Amino acid sequence: MLEQNRKTIENPLNKYPKPPFEKQPQEVPGLSSKMLPVPDHGENSYQGSGRLLGRKALITGGDSGIGRAAAIAYAREGADVVINYLPEEQSDADEVIALIKSAGRQGYGIPGDITDPSFCKQLVEQTVEKLEGIDILVNNAGHQQAVESLLDLTEEGFDETIKTNIYAPFWITKAALPHLPEGAVIIATSSVQAYDPSENLFDYAQTKAANVAFVKSLAKQLGPKGIRVNGVAPGPVWTPLQTSGGQPQDAIVEFGAQTPLGRPGQPAELASIYVQLAASDASYATGQIYGAAGGSGHP
């Protein structure tokens, strides 16, 4: 019987597609459905076990990439989920909401631009109204555009990266705090770029370092209130963030090849980290940054 129930051991080297990939430029913000190969967010693989039963989560950038994988996993672990996304990403978002509902949970989408502080407040208010509360906040949405020279980085581009990656988590978290009960969790998506920045991601890397400081400072502030704050620092992960300007198209061809595993990660491979950080049995983990980078990067 034990042999029959044993899970198959998987070699991470061969589990998912390896480069070379096709060049595939998309306009910002990009859609998962248009990527080749289409990313795996756990749609057909993630199986829950009730670890988040009855929880109430808001995930920014939940239509695609890592946010989508977290949304699917949270729903299958028993949580009700609100996802935020840009209006241009509605088709991806519709797929996620359908998957949340197919797991038997409440799923809602609230489109809007989180670089607008008034919308950030509305996002939290609408989430609390729809879910009758909130106890998991995942600040995941990000903006990344590769620019080879600082001389070519415009003030408008710099401003959009800062507002999306630093200001928005500040606005959203500040609006959510009065609603977060003891035992609630806040999770930020940082990046290996915070620790080992690429030369063409000058602005993005700075924001990801700021996300690390956000986690470590806020964890000290909110620990006495019984609220945990942690972060995840992914390496190269196959998402629309990369194909819509986050990497040059020449880099997309060999994306992830430089890691010891020789390939990019898939969003589904990070889902369990977000579940673990949200679950109550991780009650002593706060102020931590969890890496998932295929063998390279920090921490």
Beta-bridge partners for 111: 85
Catalytic site residue 204? yes
Side-chain-side CA neighbours of residue 136 (13 Å): 31
3-state class (DSSP) for residue 84: strand
Please report the DSSP string for 9-42 in residue order. P--TTTSS--S--------TT--GGGSSSPPP-S
Map tokens 């990000």 to a residue: 142
3-state class (DSSP) for residue 256: coil
Which residues are CB-contacts of 3 (< 8 A; sequence separation ≥ 6)? none
Q: Considering the candidates 46, 74, 204, 290, report the single residue annotated as catalytic.
A: 204
Radius of gyration, alpha carbons of the chain = 18
**For residue 265, what are the CA distances in angstroms to 49, 291, 293?**
24, 12, 7
Contact 156, 194 (CB under 8 A): no
- Give the active site residues: 204
